[in-house]
Every structure is written in structure tokens, then in C-alpha cells.
Chain A
Amino acid sequence: MSALQRLFGFHGGVKPAYHKEASTTAPIAVAPTPTRLVIPLHQSIGGPPRPLVKPGERVLKGQRIGSADGNVSSAVHASTSGTVVAVEMCLMPHTSGLSALCVVIEPDGRDEWIALQAFDYRAATPTQTRDYLRDAGVVGLGGAVFPTYLKLNAGKQGKLETLVLNGAECEPFITCDDVLMRERADAILRGAVIMREMLAAGQVLVGIEDNKPEAVAAMEAAARAVNAASGDDAIRVVAVPTRYPAGGAKQLIRVLTGIEVPHGERSTDYGVQCFNVGTAYAIHEAIELGQPLISRIVTVAGNVGHARNYQVLFGTPMKDLIALCAPLPDSDRVIMGGPMMGFLMPADQVPVVKATNCVLVGSKKLFPPPPPEMPCIRCGECAKVCPADLQPFEMYWFSRARIFGKAQEYNLFDCIECGCCAYVCPSRIPLVDYYRFAKSEIWTREVEKEAADEARERYEFRLLREEREKQEKAAKLAAKTAAGREKAAAAVAEAQKPAVTPEEDAKKALIAAALERVKTQKELVHPENTVDLTPEQQAEVAAIEARRAEIREMAKPHLRQDD
């Protein structure tokens, strides 16, 4: 097993002080259930899940409270049994300090599971297994929280050459994968076997940095047992040189297989896929034990008296967790993740989520405020250490000047934000802050552009529709007038037709006679005020009539012809 495994190198990298010893002395402890769990619905990359529970509802441990919504999304579950007290906006473990929809649960202390049932993945189709893992909320636990079911897809060839298990854990202070491998190596490899079957992978390489000899030994022992049982030599544990960021997916793939995944392509197209060891453990729990992802191992380290790893239910406030570790009085900040890539938390009451691999307590002494930023001197140190083979100083210039197109041309989006460049910068420029700024500006523009394109499409469709409606209306009107004309023409033709039937002749004669009668009667009757008039009155009437006739003559040229 420890036969010759040729290792490769990746470009750059740094060797910061590791500070890992403090939290590895004690075994994993189970953090107590807090009095109130605040479980954010959006804990993974992709669309936020839809809430499935209402306030007042009783939930069981492992019950789904948010269902995956959209193609890229992952479900969320109740971490313990209890009552939902609210589904409301709560402060998120996010640098922005903004709130998002969370399910607040008051535990009842009984910790009652849902009916647990193992999932027979061998009897199910790969799609069914992936759907099951999506609904079990399994996401990448290395920190990126990408939904795992999307990665368990063997790509174009239908099979993989190598499945890489990432146990490198290169970032200072963080030891959650280390202790997980020491204590639960069998379970991790059981998950790895499931993944290997799903991906039809030829071999499994477990990459662990060589500063974790206990983890390497434990994993090797477990791998021997699995290999002996299966009869092949598929699982190999490889100790890789300790150099930050060896735990980056692309970097570890490079070190173990020599494959450099090019810009914009997926590792599956090169026959490799990489998962964190914690993810393998979560897959084992979900499939073989039927337990959805409701807790994880979290390292509490930094400015605390007793740094340690805890098994923590999602939704537990970081404050409660820190209180278990005797924080030192000068602690002034909480960082989620490590000192290189971690995110500053807006407050210490934010909950632990799937992405929380470490709760790092900071102080001015431990992490002194950065000295003022100086101008870039183009020394090129950042390019020397960049593990993604980028030119950080160029990206910095363009991000700083807000020329985002140029920054993108220098492959800004291949930057993994590992922080090596900022770590070595002699001018102490917060380079990663500039890249994060540029990336989010570009993303926003992209979203705005998409919205504008959709608006343009809808507007053009509306114009088209209005035009069509107008034409339809005109056509209808034309048809109507044509029909009216036809009808009139038919009536005229009817009238001109000679009377044929004797009945009609008789009718017409009757009508003519009636008209004649009316005419004679009219002639006989005179208006009362024109009879028996005196000659003066008659003269007056004649004069008025004459004046009227004169006026009519005068008005004639001014009146329109048809009036």
C-alpha cells in the first residue's frame, strides 16, 4: 500500500505557522444542545431551500425543514426534536452582517429521531441515489458547501480513474478533518466505498498532509482492512508534503495525480473527482445509517484556553460553543474558517452551519491589525507563491482601478482566494479583498445584464404582441365592414328584383293605398293658428316668411353643401 506513489508538486504555496497541536490533544466532544437552535435555510451553494414547517409545529431530529429548490440546491433538516418557534429573518454567519430566513427551534430535550432507515444504494439507480443525497442535505464539508449529489456524476466517460479524498487540511488552526480521520477512519472509508461505486472509480487516493501522522496511521489501518475485505488494492493513503494550500481541490489533484485541470474545465473530464473526508463521512451516515446531515465536527481554536473539536448540531450559536472552550478576556472577534481564508463574523451569536469547519476566536495580540497598505512595488513575490499560477499583481492593478474586464482576462475567477499573495506581500496589500471586491462586482454586472436581456426580450415581445393585436383588430373590422356591405348590396338587389308573387303585389297595393289616404288627410287638415286670420295678421305672416326666405338666401353660400 505504501508502495511507491509518485508525487507531484504544485506551484507556489506558503508555510505559515500551523497552530494545530492545541486542538488535537483531546478527542471529539459532543457539544451540548443549546436552548435555541437557529437553522438557516440557505446553507449551501445554489438556490435557497423552501421552508416546510410553520411556527408551532413539532419537529423530530432529522426531519426535513427546508426542501431543495431548483437544480442546484440542498435540503436542510432539524438538528434535534422540538418545537418550531419561528420562521424568520435572523443574522447569518456571513461577513455582510445581513439576515436571511431561518427556522428557529426550541429543543424539547428528548432528541427524538425520525424513523431511520438505511438507503439501499445498490438497488437504486444513480439518479435515485443522488436525489436521496440531495434530500439528505449532504454538501461538501471542506468549506465550499457545494451540493455533493451534483459531484457524484461520473461525467462523459461514465467512470473515473481516481477518486481523491481530501484530508490535507492545510489551513492553520483547523483540525476537524484530522480528528475525524483519527477517530472515525472506518466510517470515512465506508462512505468512500459508496462514492467509488457510484463513480465507478478505479482507485481511491486519500491525500493527508504529513504533519498529521496519527491520521495517516489510522486511515492506513482502515484502508488495509477495506482492501483485505474487497481483495484489491484500490484505496491508498498518501502523505503529501505540508505546504499551504495543499488542501485546495485542484492543488491536491495535482499533487496526487499530476493532472492539472485547465481553466474552465471540470476534473471529471480528466477522470478525477475530489471530496473532503468529512463529506465521505456524511455520505456514510446518510446512506448506511439513514441520518441526514444535521451536525459536523467543528474546531474551536485561537484565543481560547482549551481549543478542541466538537460535534456540533447545525444552528448552535457560536457563542455557546466558544463558551465551552474558556475564551480569553481579550478576545475581540470571531472568524469562521481559518486565518487565511476565513470570514469575519458580524457577531458571536450567529449559528454554526454546514460551512463552519472552524470557529476561530481572535484578539489583537493573536492577529495584530495589519500595518498600513503601501504601494505595490511589482516585486512579483505574489506571483511566485500563487498556487493557481496567476499573476496577482496584475489582477490587483485592474481590480483596484475597477477595470474588471482586464482583471477577468488575467483569470481572476481561477483565484481560489487562498491568501498566499497577501501573506507574502511586502507592501501588506490586502490583495484578496480586492479580488473579492472585483469578483462580486463582476457577478452583479452579470446578473444585471441577464435581467436587462430578459427585459429587452419581454419588451420586444410586448411590441410584437401589440402589433399583432392591432392587425387582428383591423382584420376583424375589415371583415365586419365587408360583411355589412355585402348585406346592403344584397338588400339593394332584393329591392330591384321585380315582384313575383301575387301576395306581395296585394301587400304593396295595400301599402300604397294607405299612403294615399294619409296624404289626403294631411292636405285636409290645417294648423289652427293659420285659419281665420285678419288681413293685418296675414300681411305680418307674409312679411316674416319673406324675411326668412331672404335670410336663407343669404346663408346659402356659407352652409356646407351636404347640410
Chain B
Amino acid sequence: MLEALLVMALGAIVLGAALGYAAVRFRVEGDPLVEKIDAILPQTQCGQCGFPGCKPYAQAIAKGEAEINQCPPGGEEGIHKLADLLGREFKPLSAEHGIEKPKSVALINEQTCIGCTLCIQACPVDAIVGAAKQMHTVVASQCTGCELCLPPCPVDCITMEPLAESVETWKWKYPVVRLHPVQKETA
């Protein structure tokens, strides 16, 4: 009886030690789920979801504090991906957080810009260059289209220009069967 207890206790100690060692040795840095969610989010850092950036929104989703349908730039496709990842039900984009818009970039009207640097401070990805009392301009290839530079501009010189399709970015369309109207023969 005592032997059995000792054996069991020994086993418990050995396994406990092994588990404890593994917990320290193979410790996972950060939350892998947050990383995975963050990878799906479009990284516009626009804050339309109600969180100050994509990462905080990802953290909130991982904790179950936020719905998966609060990201308008990610669109329906992003919601589908999040639903697949998290095993949740798909929900249509929540209207209070905005609507899905075609991808666009900010454009500063250089005639009107007064060089106040307010938009530079607002840009989450540092895509606007300029200095005080100097004209500012947007680096289009780095603009995420978050629209955060629009409200601070005192002279309303920033507009959002939808990205035009070019030969390089053109996509083959989904093949559709064209229906040809058949002319009925009148008797």
C-alpha cells in the first residue's frame, strides 16, 4: 500500500517537474492568436473599429471583447477570414463602424496647403512628408487610406482619391457564362 503511494507520488513529482520545465523552456512569447488576427486585419490603423489601431482591435477580438465585424477596410472578406480563424459565425459588417469603400489614397491639394503639419501628426504610418510652413505631400505608395488626416486639416485641402485600376493591377474576372437572348420565332 505504502509502496504504491510512493510510486504514485514519485510519478507525480517527476511529471510535474517535466511539465514545469517545459513550461519555462518552451514558453510562447506573446499571444499567437492575437498575431494571427492581426495578420488578417488590413493594418490601415484607421480606428474605425473603435480601437486605437489594428493590434488593439486584434487583442480585443482575442479576448472576446469585440465583434469580428467592426473593420470596414477589411470588408466582408476579412470578416469571413476572421470567422474561419475563430470558429465564429459570419456577421455582415456593422453599419455603425462604417461602410466598405474602394481602396483610395489621400491627396493634398498643394495650392491650398498652408503647411500646418497637423496631418503629419495624424498619419499613423508616417506617409506624409513636409515641414512647418512648407508644403506637405502624401507618399501614395505608403498611404493606407485611413482618412485620419482629413479631420485635422484646417483648410480642408486633403481629398481621398480612389485607386484607379492599371494594367499591372488589373485582375482577371470570374468566368461567367454569358446568356445570349434567344429570339422567339413568331408563328
With contact pairs A452-B43, A459-B45, A459-B124 given, residues A98 and B172 touching in the complex (Cβ less than 8 Å): no
Contact with B along A427-451 (1 / 0, CB 8 A): 0001001101101110010011001
CB of A444 within 8 A of CB of B171, answer: yes
CB of B172 within 8 A of CB of A100, answer: no
Which residues, 164 to 180 on B, are CB-close (under 8 Å) to A?
A: 165-175, 177
Among candidates A92, A372, A462, residue contacting B124 with C-beta atoms closer than 8 Å: A462
Among candidates A98, A454, A458, residue contacting B166 with C-beta atoms closer than 8 Å: A98
Q: Is B144 an interface residue (CB 8 A)?
A: yes
Contact with B along A121-161 (1 / 0, CB 8 A): 00000000000000000000000000000000000000000
Cβ–Cβ < 8 Å partners of B41 in chain A: 452
Q: Is A35 an interface residue (CB 8 A)?
A: no
CB of B142 within 8 A of CB of A454, answer: yes
> How far apart sit A440 and B168, CA to CA, in the bound complex (Å)?
10
CB of B125 within 8 A of CB of A455, answer: yes
Contact with B along A251-281 (1 / 0, CB 8 A): 0000000000000000000000000000000
CB of A440 within 8 A of CB of B45, answer: no
Q: Is B127 an interface residue (CB 8 A)?
A: yes
Cβ–Cβ < 8 Å partners of B115 in chain A: none
Q: Is B147 an interface residue (CB 8 A)?
A: no
With contact pairs A372-B177, A373-B177 given, residues A98 and B170 touching in the complex (Cβ less than 8 Å): yes
Binding site for B on A (CB under 8 A): 42, 48, 92, 94-96, 98-100, 372-373, 430, 433-434, 436-437, 439-441, 444, 447-448, 451-456, 458-459, 461-462
With contact pairs A96-B165, A372-B177, A462-B126 given, residues A455 and B45 touching in the complex (Cβ less than 8 Å): yes
In the complex, the chain B residue whose C-beta lies closest to that of A441 is B171
CB of B175 within 8 A of CB of A458, answer: no
> How far apart sit A372 and B172, CA to CA, in the bound complex (Å)?
20
B174 to chain A, nearest CB (A): 5
In the complex, the chain A residue whose C-beta lies closest to that of B103 is A448
**Which among B45, B124, B144, B172 has the greatest number of chain A C-beta atoms within 10 A?**
B172
Q: Is B152 an interface residue (CB 8 A)?
A: no
Q: List 15 A-B contacts (CB under 8 A).
A: A98-B166, A372-B177, A430-B175, A437-B171, A437-B172, A437-B173, A440-B172, A448-B42, A452-B43, A455-B125, A456-B38, A456-B43, A456-B54, A459-B124, A462-B124
Which residues, 2 to 50 on B, are CB-close (under 8 Å) to A?
A: 38, 41-45
Among candidates B144, B168, B173, residue contacting A455 with C-beta atoms closer than 8 Å: B144
> How far apart sit A430 and B173, CA to CA, in the bound complex (Å)?
12
Q: Which 8 residue pairs across A and B have the least CB separation, nearest first?
A: A96-B170, A433-B175, A452-B43, A436-B172, A455-B43, A440-B171, A458-B125, A437-B172
With contact pairs A456-B54, A459-B45 given, residues A42 and B175 touching in the complex (Cβ less than 8 Å): no
B100 to chain A, nearest CB (A): 14
CB of B45 within 8 A of CB of A452, answer: no
> How far apart sit A430 and B177, CA to CA, in the bound complex (Å)?
10
In the complex, the chain B residue whose C-beta lies closest to that of A435 is B172
> How far apart sit A439 and B171, CA to CA, in the bound complex (Å)?
9
B63 to chain A, nearest CB (A): 20
B42 to chain A, nearest CB (A): 6
Cβ–Cβ < 8 Å partners of A98 in chain B: 165-167, 170
> How far apart sit A142 and B58, CA to CA, in the bound complex (Å)?
48
Cβ–Cβ < 8 Å partners of B172 in chain A: 95, 433, 436-437, 439-440
> How far apart sit A99 and B42, CA to CA, in the bound complex (Å)?
29
In the complex, the chain A residue whose C-beta lies closest to that of B73 is A452
Which residues, 81 to 97 on B, are CB-close (under 8 Å) to A?
A: none
Given A437-B171, A440-B170, A462-B124, 16 additional A-B pairs, CB 8 A = A94-B170, A96-B165, A98-B167, A98-B170, A100-B166, A100-B167, A430-B175, A433-B175, A436-B172, A437-B172, A452-B43, A458-B142, A459-B43, A459-B54, A459-B124, A461-B126
Cβ–Cβ < 8 Å partners of B177 in chain A: 372-373
B99 to chain A, nearest CB (A): 19
CB of A437 within 8 A of CB of B174, answer: yes
> How far apart sit A451 and B144, CA to CA, in the bound complex (Å)?
8
Cβ–Cβ < 8 Å partners of A436 in chain B: 172
A204 to chain B, nearest CB (A): 35
> How far apart sit A29 and B142, CA to CA, in the bound complex (Å)?
50
In the complex, the chain A residue whose C-beta lies closest to that of B164 is A98
> How far apart sit A100 and B165, CA to CA, in the bound complex (Å)?
11
CB of A462 within 8 A of CB of B125, answer: yes
Among candidates A451, A452, A459, A461, residue contacting B53 with C-beta atoms closer than 8 Å: A459
> How far apart sit A506 and B43, CA to CA, in the bound complex (Å)?
75
A72 to chain B, nearest CB (A): 13
Cβ–Cβ < 8 Å partners of B43 in chain A: 451-453, 455-456, 459
Contact with A along B141-172 (1 / 0, CB 8 A): 01010000000000000000000011111111
A50 to chain B, nearest CB (A): 15
In the complex, the chain A residue whose C-beta lies closest to that of B174 is A437
With contact pairs A452-B42, A453-B43 given, residues A458 and B126 touching in the complex (Cβ less than 8 Å): yes
CB of A94 within 8 A of CB of B167, answer: yes
A343 to chain B, nearest CB (A): 11
A443 to chain B, nearest CB (A): 8
